[in-house]
Amino acid sequence: MSHIVIVGGGQAAGAAAETAREQDSDAEITVVAREPHGLYQRPPLSKGYLAGSDGPGAVRLHDADWYADQGIAVRTGLAATEVDAGARRVGLADGTAITYTQLLLATGATARALPVPGSGLEGVHTLRTIDDADALGQTLRAGGKRVVVIGSGWIGMEAAATARQLGNDVTVLGRAAQPLEAALGARMGQVFARLHADHGVTVRGGVAVERVEGSSSVTGVVAGGERVDADVVIAGVGAELDLGLARTAGARIGDGVLVDAAMRTSVPDVWAAGDIAAAYHPMLQRHLRSEHWATALAGGGVAGAGMAGAPGRLADIPFFFSDQFDLGMELSGFAPLMDGARLVVRGDEHAREFIAFWVDGDRVVGGMNINVWDVQDDIQSLIRSGVRVDVAALADPDVALSDLTQG
Ligand SMILES: Cc1cc2nc3c(=O)[nH]c(=O)nc-3n(C[C@H](O)[C@H](O)[C@H](O)COP(=O)(O)OP(=O)(O)OC[C@H]3O[C@@H](n4cnc5c(N)ncnc54)[C@H](O)[C@@H]3O)c2cc1C
């Protein structure tokens, strides 16, 4: 009988287990997850779950009974330590091993520690896991703290918004001039800088953090020669991919584990999905990796089906969403093409109700809607169709987006 083994406890692992079961009602399926929790998704950890407005049900993919009913064995609190691809065996941290016929690596990433002195002081937090969110949430929900967020990427800015909404005094220190600049460019970064400023967050860009100060607990952060008082520090300085297992399997690695569009690695019967996987994208004709929830969901699904004998293709346009204060956004696009593309705005940028398009030559390669809804299908159609667009029409709210797709 086939034995599908899935290593990981996040969205990619969960999606793979679910689709594998849909495709094959007989296969033995085992999920090996290092964290003590069942399979869960991370987006609420910097939003509702951190704020305390969403409970564990918003984070968990399914409850334990669901996996039992599906005949999916979930072994939590157990790390996989190595893969012997020749013997089709996965070594486990308890000294045992399991054999597989198909193996998925969905090991994701670990929050990067702050690379400055003082990062180990009490009160310095990272935000990647349920345990991280529980510890941080407990402090933030008391309110009245001086919170310094280091890093102005997505996690830093979402955590800053949540911390502020919980009644804390919040300062963001970012290395780039504008928040989210690496993802969105300086002009769109300014939209988020203004949003935070309007809600009382101090955002300082272009600063390098030198050290965190305190004796046992944090008391301040020194950046650009200036000290900012702090009771709590949130380090949102990126994540390190967990590639160790893929290396022991002998999988080819570039920017992540290189997989084909069906999510197969270079090693027979070993697959990869989620944050660690750089999948060959049929439209771009190159490998593409994105640390997005939707990519983990879709890629995990493709891998799960493939392991159960129904290989598919991951041809999605990367999609991301964020919620900060009263701003909701959705973004679809190919990051490598958006970098350096021209920005075209439809709607009221100042009122934070608009769509921004990234246009490369005269083709749309990315689109972000802010507080405008039900336009993602049209944005994705525009990108996928590759039609030449008239920039004036793109910027004109009176021209239906669906008309532009006709070229
Ligand atoms: C706070 C936060 C907020 C986010 N918000 C958004 C958002 O709003 N929108 C969005 O699109 N994306 C968001 N993301 C990104 C998104 O959550 C990730 O892209 C997604 O979690 C990737 O899923 P994954 O399954 O690949 O990896 P992960 O979710 O990292 O899961 C991997 C799991 O594998 C386990 N593991 C690792 N090594 C081993 C091993 N050797 N043995 C056993 N288990 C192992 C890990 O413990 C972990 O639980 C957010 C991420 C974070 C941290």
Q: Each residue of 324-338: pLDDT tens digit?
A: 999 999 999 999 999
Average pLDDT, whole number, for the chain?
97
Q: Tell me the sheet residues that pair with 4.
A: 29, 102
pTM score, two decimals? 0.97
pLDDT on residue 1: 82
The domain 3-108+242-307 is classified under which CATH number: 3.40.50.10090, 3.40.50.300, 3.50.50.60, 3.20.20.60?
3.50.50.60
Q: Return the residue whose CA atom lies nearest to atom 6 of ligand 1.
A: 43
CA distance 138 to 52: 9
d(C-alpha 77, C-alpha 79), whole Å:
7
Q: Check residue 406 and give its pLDDT.
A: 75
Whether the pLDDT of residue 255 is over 90: the answer is: yes
Q: Indicate the class that CATH gives domain 326-404.
A: alpha beta
Q: Report the nearest-CA residue for atom 7 of ligand 1.
A: 43
Query: For 157-170, how does the pLDDT look when each residue is reduced to its tens digit (9 = 90+)?
Result: 999 999 999 999 99
pLDDT score for 405: 84
Q: Which CATH architecture has domain 124-235?
A: 3-Layer(bba) Sandwich (3.50)
247 membership: H or E segment, kind and range: helix 244-249
Band (pLDDT 50/70/90 cuts) for residue 407 is low
Residue 126, Cβ density class (10 Å: 0-12 exposed, 13-18 middle, ≥19 buried): buried
Q: Do 124-235 and 3-108+242-307 fall under one CATH topology? A: yes
Domain ranges within the chain, ordered by starting residue:
3-108+242-307, 124-235, 326-404
Rounded to the nearest angstrom, the distance between the alpha carbon of 298 and the centre of ligand 1 is 14
Name residue 249's amino acid.
A
- Burial category of 260 from C-beta neighbours within 10 Å (exposed 0-12, middle 13-18, buried 19 and up): middle
The per-residue pLDDT for 177 is 98
Nearest CA to ligand 1 atom 14: 43
3-state secondary structure at position 4: strand
Give residue ranges with CB within 6 A of ligand 1: 7-13, 32-35, 42-43, 45-46, 79-80, 106-109, 127-128, 155, 242, 245, 274-275, 291-294, 296, 320-322
Distance 187 CA to ligand 1 centre (A): 29
